[in-house]
Structure 1
Amino acid sequence: MKNLNALTVLLFLTFLAVSHAKVYGKCELARIMQNNGFPREQLRDWMCLVQNESGFNTSAINHNRRGTIDYGLFQINNRYWCDSSYGANDCNITCKSLLDDDIANDLQCVKLIYKRHKFTAWVAWNKKCQGKALPTVSECF
C-alpha cells in the first residue's frame, strides 16, 4: 500500500511539472521571437535549431555524455548558462525555469549565448542547420 501511495504522489508531481510545459508551433514561436527583438533574417535558423534541439517542447531535457544537461526549448546547457553544481550560471537563471511555458528568461539567455558564440553554441544547429535548407517562416507574418 505504501508503494501505491508513493507512486500516486510521484505521478501527481510529474503531472504538475509537465502541466506548465508547452509545445510551441513554429509560427507562434517565430512571432514571439521577432516581438522580442530577434531579427527576422535569423528566425529560419532559430526555428531549425529549436526543431532539432527540443521539437519545440519547453519541457525537453537531454543528458549529455560529459554529464551536463540541456534544458528547455533551446536546450540551454547547465555547464555555463543556468544554475547547477558547475557554478557558472552566466544567464543568472535556474535550470528549472527553462522548462516552463514562460520563455522570457529563455529568450534573454539565448541572446547572451548568441552574442558570445552565434549559432555554433548549439550542436544541433551545427549538424542539422548550418549550410542546409532551413524551414520557412514567411508564412508566419
Structure 2
Amino acid sequence: MFTFIHIYRAMWNARVIVFILFFVAIVSDAKRFETRCKLVRELLKIGMPNDMFLGQWVCLIEKVSKRDTSLLTVKASGKKLYGLYQIPKEWCREKKRGGLCNISCEALLDDDIRDDTVCALKIAEEKGFKYWPQWTTRCKNDNFITNEIYKCPDLNRLTPERSLSSSLYSRSLQLRRKRSLRSPFPKVTRSKSRHIH
C-alpha cells in the first residue's frame, strides 16, 4: 500500500510537470508574432508611425528576435539583450524601473510591446539604426521586407518606400528630436510661417 501511494504521487507529480511545461510552451508561442502582417498590425495599433521606416523596423525585429517578444539573449561576455528589439541592459534595469529608458528589463519580455517600442525609438533617435549590428548587415539597403509588408491587408493600399537614404533618415531624426516628449508617438506638425506687417 505504501509503495502504491508513492508511485501514484510520483505519476501525479509527473503529469503536473508535463502540464506546466506544456502551458509554458503555449504561452511562449503566444508571445511570438506568427506572421509579418500580425507584427505590422500590432505596430500600427500601438501608434508606430507608418512612414518610410516602418519596413526597416519590421526587418530589424525579424533579424534580431524573429518576432519573439520573450526572447532573452545572454552573450558569452555576460551582456543581456531583451525582447522584441533585443534592447541591451544599459537601457533598462532588472527588477525595477531604471536605465536610459527608465523601464524594467522584465517589462521588455512581456506581450505589451508599447513600452519596448518607445525605448527602441529612443535608441534610434539617439544612436540610429546602426546601433543594431544586424540592421547594418541584414536590413540596410535592402527593401525586400518593406515591399513585402505592403502586401499585408493593413498596408496594401499604401505605397512602399523605395530607398532608405541617409539624408532622409538624418532629417527624420532631427524632426523627431524637436517633437514633444509628452507622447511616445507624437506627430510632426508643420508650423505656418507668420508674416509681420
What interval of TM-score do these two structures reach, taking the shorter chain for normalisation? 0.7 to 0.9
Instruction: State the Cα RMSD in Å.
Output: 3.0
TM-score, length of structure 1 as denominator length: 0.78
Structure 1: distance between partners of 2:142 and 2:50: 20
Structure 1 residue 67 corresponds to structure 2 residue 75: no
What residue ranges of structure 1 are gaps of 5+ in the alignment?
none
Structure 1 residue 100 corresponds to structure 2 residue 115: no
2:126 matched residue in structure 1: 116
Structure 2: distance between partners of 1:126 and 1:93: 26
Structure 1 residue 125 corresponds to structure 2 residue 135: yes
Partner SS for 2:31:
coil
1:44 matched residue in structure 2: 55
Structure 1 residue 139 corresponds to structure 2 residue 155: no
| Percent of pairs with identical residues | 31
Larger RCO (alpha carbons 8 Å, 6+ apart)? 1
Q: Which moved further from structure 2: 87-96 or 68-77? A: 87-96
Structure 1: distance between partners of 2:49 and 2:23: 33
Write the mapping of 1:75-90 to structure 2, written as runs, cut at 5 A: 75-78=86-89, 80-84=90-94, 89-90=99-100
Structure 1 residue 28 corresponds to structure 2 residue 38: yes
- Equivalent residue letter for 2:105: C
What residue ranges of structure 2 are gaps of 5+ in the alignment?
1-5, 156-197
Distance 1:41 1:97, change over 3 A: same
- 1:99 shift after superposition: 1.0
- Equivalent residue letter for 2:137: K
Distance 1:23 1:111, change over 3 A: same
1:19 matched residue in structure 2: 27
Runs (4+) of structure 1 exceeding 3 A deviation are: 11-18
Q: Deviations over 1:64-102 (max 9, x none)?
A: 243211111111111x211049x9711111111111111
- Equivalent residue letter for 1:19: V
Partner SS for 2:115:
helix
- 1:14 shift after superposition: 9.5
Contact 2:91–2:99 under 8 Å retained in 1 = yes
Structure 1: distance between partners of 2:42 and 2:63: 19
